[in-house]
Amino acid sequence: MPLIQWIESTWLDTAIRHSVATIRIAEIIHLLGLTLFGGTVFILNLTLFGFGPPRRALARIAGELMPWTVAGFLVMAVSGSVLFLSSPDRFYENPALRVKLAILPLALIFQFTIHRKIAFADPPAAPGRAALAACLSSVLWIGVGFAGKAIGPYAVQ
Amino acid sequence: MSLFDFCQWLHDSPAAAVMRSSSATFTVINSIHALGIVLVAGTILLVDLRLLGLGLRREPVKDVVARIIPVTLFGFAMMALTGLLMFFPEAVRYYKSPAFRIKLVLLALLGLNALIFHLTVYRDAPKWELGPVPVRARIAGLFSLMLWIGVIAAGRSIPYGRDYDLGFNRAPGRSPALVARCLSCR
């Protein structure tokens, strides 16, 4: 595919493909980003479900966690891009990555629109709604996670 | 029976054969283990950020810790279980892996750090939890953070190494790291 060939011809991609250390560090940073992003989203969802922090603190907690959530996501996006660049042609054909990149926009949009609205609602959103938002968010992101982990096994074929 | 013999015994056990029989099983268990990071390290991260004064600043420390720790422990149990399930079929390989050994040592240090924290400076938490965090609590938070980063880095490095000849040590070229990434490929 011409786009992939163009990518592979760039200085950046050549440098990444030839530096095993970069790829390994990118993998670790990707996981650390997951810790930050996933941890904050998880705590928020936990609160929406009614566990952990009390519901009345929802808007405040959501406000405090949001910057970390965004930072975590950016870390994952950048490190994920570096990982993709380590072998664009093979990753392009990877079915698990395609599934992941299909679910990802859905998860992202949901997380930063409807879910955000419900989390920041003042007075706090009704428990039923909150739980539904948390449930959808969890399912979507867990889907992204499982698809991501499946990339490895599919990549070796 | 030495530790190595024990690992060999685990490796040869029927339970291990079940785990080895399907690549899908391994990938699912591996995925649960990886996503468990969110439950354990993700939650501890927030406790550490609170101790370092970087996040959730307006919540009392004892509150944050008391609410989050049960989740962390549940997550840790899940990770230990999935970790064990992955360890069984490849016990000998893990035994030989320096990254795995480092990971276990770091986990032990994390437990020690948590224990010391809970038995000393945390006891006085009501006195300082709404003001500036005392130095010893900050140190506990910092150590915890650094140790967790170490555990994750060590865990991620397990598939790479001399005893894993999955082509990782070949000359760089067409993604040798990709080949090395898949622990389930045999």
pLDDT 10s digits, B40-93: 999 999 889 888 888 777 777 777 788 888 999 999 999 999 998 888 888 878
Classify residue A54: in a domain, yes or no. Answer: yes
Classify residue A156: in a domain, yes or no. Answer: no
How many domains in chain A? 1
Report the sign of the C-alpha dihedral through residues B64, B65, B69, B70, in that order: negative
Interface of A with B in 29-68 (CB under 8 A): 31-32, 34-36, 38-40, 42-43, 46, 51-53, 57, 60-61, 64-65, 68
How far apart, in Å, are the Cα atoms of A10 and each of A3, A5, A19, A24, A86? 11, 9, 15, 21, 12
Write the secondary structure of A14-37 as one string of H (helix), E (strand) and C (coil): HHHHCCHHHHHHHHHHHHHHHHHH
**Pairwise CA distance, residues A16 & A116, whole Å:** 36
Q: What is the chain A residue with the closest CA to B160?
A: A24
Asked if A90 has any chain B CB less than 8 Å from its own CB, the reply is yes
**Pairwise CA distance, residues A81 & A152, whole Å:** 15
Q: Do A38 and B35 touch (CB under 8 A)?
A: yes
Q: Which of A31, A55, A82, A83 to mutate to test the interface with B (most CBs of B within 10 A)?
A: A31
Task: Say if residue B183's pLDDT is above 50.
Answer: no
Q: Are the C-beta atoms of residues B53 and B138 closer than 8 Å to each other?
A: yes
User: Regarding predicted confidence, which is higher, A122 or B186?
Assistant: A122
Q: Are the C-beta atoms of residues B172 and A21 closer than 8 Å to each other?
A: no
Task: Say if residue B129's pLDDT is above 90.
Answer: no
Residue A129: give the domain boundaries.
2-150
pLDDT digits (tens, 9 = 90+) for A126-153: 999 999 999 999 999 999 999 999 888 8
Residue A51, SS3 per DSSP:
coil
Q: Which of A34, A76, A89 to mutate to test the interface with B (most CBs of B within 10 A)?
A: A34
Classify residue A155: in a domain, yes or no. Answer: no
Q: Are the C-beta atoms of residues A43 and A52 closer than 8 Å to each other?
A: yes
Considering CB atoms only, which of B71, B152, B168 is closest to A52? B71
Classify residue A127: in a domain, yes or no. Answer: yes
pLDDT digits (tens, 9 = 90+) for A69-120: 999 999 999 999 999 998 898 899 899 999 999 999 999 999 999 999 999 9
pLDDT at A136: 97
Interface of A with B in 13-32 (CB under 8 A): 17-20, 23-24, 27-28, 31-32
Nearest CA to A90 among A26, A155, A9? A155
Residue A71, SS3 per DSSP:
helix
Q: Considering only the C-alpha atoms of chain B, give the largest distance between any 2 of them, rounded to a whole number of Å.
A: 58
Classify residue A55: in a domain, yes or no. Answer: yes
Q: Which residues in A lie closer than 8 A to residue B149 (C-beta atoms)?
A: 32
Classify residue A20: in a domain, yes or no. Answer: yes
Q: Are the C-beta atoms of residues B37 and A148 closer than 8 Å to each other?
A: no
Q: Do A53 and B67 touch (CB under 8 A)?
A: yes
Report the sign of the C-alpha dihedral through residues B152, A90, A156, B165, in that order: negative
pLDDT at B93: 80
Asked if A143 has any chain B CB less than 8 Å from its own CB, the reply is no
Task: Kindly report the pTM of this predicted structure.
Answer: 0.87
Q: Which residues in B lie closer than 8 A to residue A40 (C-beta atoms)?
A: 42, 46
Classify residue A70: in a domain, yes or no. Answer: yes
Classify residue A157: in a domain, yes or no. Answer: no
Output the CA angle B150-B156-B159, nearest 5 degrees: 135
Considering CB atoms only, which of A23, A31, A43 is closest to B43? A43
The per-residue pLDDT of chain B, averaged, comes to 80
Q: Which of B62, B174, B181, B186 to mutate to test the interface with A (most CBs of A within 10 A)?
A: B181
Task: Say if residue B5's pLDDT is above 90.
Answer: no
The per-residue pLDDT of chain A, averaged, comes to 92
pLDDT at A157: 56
- This complex has an ipTM of 0.89
